[in-house]
Amino acid sequence: MTILLKLLNTAAGLAFAPLLIGVINRTKAWCAGRTGPPLLQPYHDLRKLFRKGAVYSESSSWILRAGPVVGLSAVVTAATIIPFGGLPVLLSFNGDLILFAYLFGLARFFTILMALDSGSSFEGMGASREAAFSALAEPVLLLTLAVIAKYTGQISFSKIFPAIDFGYWPKAGPAFVLIGLALLIVFLAENARIPVDDPNTHLELTMIHEAMVLDHSGPDLGMIHYAAAVKMWLLGALLTQIIVPVRGGGRLADVAAALLAMMLLAAVVGLIESSMARLRLQRVPQLLVGAAALSILAAILV
């Protein structure tokens, strides 16, 4: 029974991840007064990609092919160590939150390499920016994790999440607001959303993530898109379970509440994307350093 629940925890993330993107796109369409694609469009896109053949760049090596596989595997592995909606996790140990952050590092390492493998200047540009911005986003993520660990006195997700409840608002409300903001910025930056990156611009000099995958096609591209969705799900799960820790209504209600929180997050991202422009690239580091400052401030308040 427990093992089933544990698998369910991972499976929930893997199954619902593309839905987040559907909700974001739907929200954006709604804001723009369009009908927009169906909610399940991301699933159809993935199915289409996984059915196709592939074209590879002549200059590429096996790195270009290994990149999507390693990137997807790293985020799927990360999905086995973060609990969702009070479900038990497959693997839980002290310090799993650090490993969680570093698994994204592994995915990023291979994404950057596969972009450089194509020899394209566009992909090199995307890779360079990804390396620079994520080097700044990583400290923010770990600092916020440190604040949470300090607050709860625990260093494992399975013990941290149960330790957080709405009782924190009177106790450490300001700190949690700051953490929430910092995590939201990390969420937007790491998932290539506005105001850091624009997922809709394929061919502009401003792009980051989309530029790195120009030479991938078929199942490889499918894996990349799916990995991006799962990554968004995982970082979103981290954010929502800290900020809106709804709990205590029985297992089913808890999971449903967590799902609802995720969809709300997606809607918020949709609203942000509809109401903001992308920042100039030179401003992005300032945003990320600002996020680091927020989490440091939070640590002092906790």
Partner 1 sequence: MALFLLGLAVIFSGGLASLLWGRKPGAADGLGAAGAVAGGVIAAVPAFRILLGAPAASLQWNWNIPYGSFYIQIDSLSAFFLIPIIGLSVIAAVYGSDYLRAYRDRKNLGVAWFFYNLLLIGMMLVVVARNGVLFLIAWETMSLASFFLVTFEYEKPMVRRAGWIYLIAMHIGTAFLIVFFLLLGRHAGSLNFDAISGVPSSLASALFLLAIVGFGTKAGFMPLHVWLPYAHPAAPSHVSAVMSGVMIKTGIYGLVRTLTILGPPQEWWCWTLIAIGAVSGIAGVLFALAQHDLKRLLAYHSVENIGIITLGLGLGLLGVNMNAPTLAVLGFAGGLFHVVNHAVFKGLLFLGAGSVIKSCGTGQIDALGGIIKRMPWTAFAFLTGSIAISGLPPLNGFASEFLIYLGVFRGDIDAGFKAAIPELAIIGGLALIGGLALACFTKAFGIIFLGHPRSEAAERAREAGWGMRAATTALAVLCVLLGLLSPLVIQSVKGPISLISGFDDELARVVLGYATRVLIGFVSVSAVLIAVTAFFAVLRRRLLRGRSVRRAPTWDCGYARPTPKMQYTASSFAQPLTDLFKIFLRSKKDVSLPEGLFPGRSHFHTDTKDVSEEYLHEPAFEWITSFLGKFKWLQHGRLQIYILYIALTLLALLIWKL
| CA–CA separation, 88 and 93 (whole Å) | 12
Nearest partner of 193 among 12, 10, 21, 36, judged by Cα: 21
Give the one residue of 17, 21, 76, 196 binding partner 1; rule: CB under 8 A: 76
Nearest partner of 293 among 169, 152, 181, judged by Cα: 181
**Positive or negative CA dihedral for 258, 263, 266, 271?**
negative
Q: Does 72 bind partner 1 (CB under 8 A)?
A: yes
- Site residues for partner 1, 203-222, by CB under 8 A, read 203, 214-215, 218-220
Give the one residue of 20, 141, 238, 262 binding partner 1; rule: CB under 8 A: 141
Return the biggest CA–CA distance within the chain: 60
Nearer to partner 1 among residue 5 and residue 91 (C-beta): 91
Give the one residue of 142, 172, 181, 271 binding partner 1; rule: CB under 8 A: 142
Q: Does 230 bind partner 1 (CB under 8 A)?
A: no
| CA–CA separation, 199 and 211 (whole Å) | 10
| CA–CA separation, 241 and 238 (whole Å) | 6
Nearest partner of 259 among 1, 16, 2, judged by Cα: 16
* # residues near partner 1 by CB under 8 A: 86
Nearer to partner 1 among residue 98 and residue 260 (C-beta): 98
CA 217, 24, 5 angle in degrees (round to 5)?
A: 85
Give the one residue of 12, 17, 81, 232 binding partner 1; rule: CB under 8 A: 81
The torsion angles phi and psi of 21, rounded to 5 degrees, stand at -65, -40
- Site residues for partner 1, 273-292, by CB under 8 A, read 281, 285, 292
Give the one residue of 108, 193, 225, 278 binding partner 1; rule: CB under 8 A: 108
Give the one residue of 113, 260, 279, 287 binding partner 1; rule: CB under 8 A: 113
Window contacting partner 1 (CB under 8 A); options: 28-36, 91-99, 232-240, 266-274 = 91-99
Sequence-separated (6 or more) residues with CB below 8 Å from residue 282: none
| CA–CA separation, 85 and 105 (whole Å) | 25
- Site residues for partner 1, 23-52, by CB under 8 A, read 50, 52
Window contacting partner 1 (CB under 8 A); options: 15-23, 31-39, 127-135, 270-278 = 127-135
Q: Does 55 bind partner 1 (CB under 8 A)?
A: yes
Q: How far is the CB of 1 from partner 1 (least distance, A)?
A: 21
Looking at residue 93, the DSSP 8-state letter turns out to be -
Q: How far is the CB of 298 from partner 1 (least distance, A)?
A: 10
Instruction: Record the tokens describing residue 9, joined without a space.
Output: 């925890």
- Site residues for partner 1, 155-174, by CB under 8 A, read 155
Q: How far is the CB of 267 from partner 1 (least distance, A)?
A: 30
Q: How far is the CB of 240 from partner 1 (least distance, A)?
A: 23
Contact 136, 262 (CB under 8 A): no
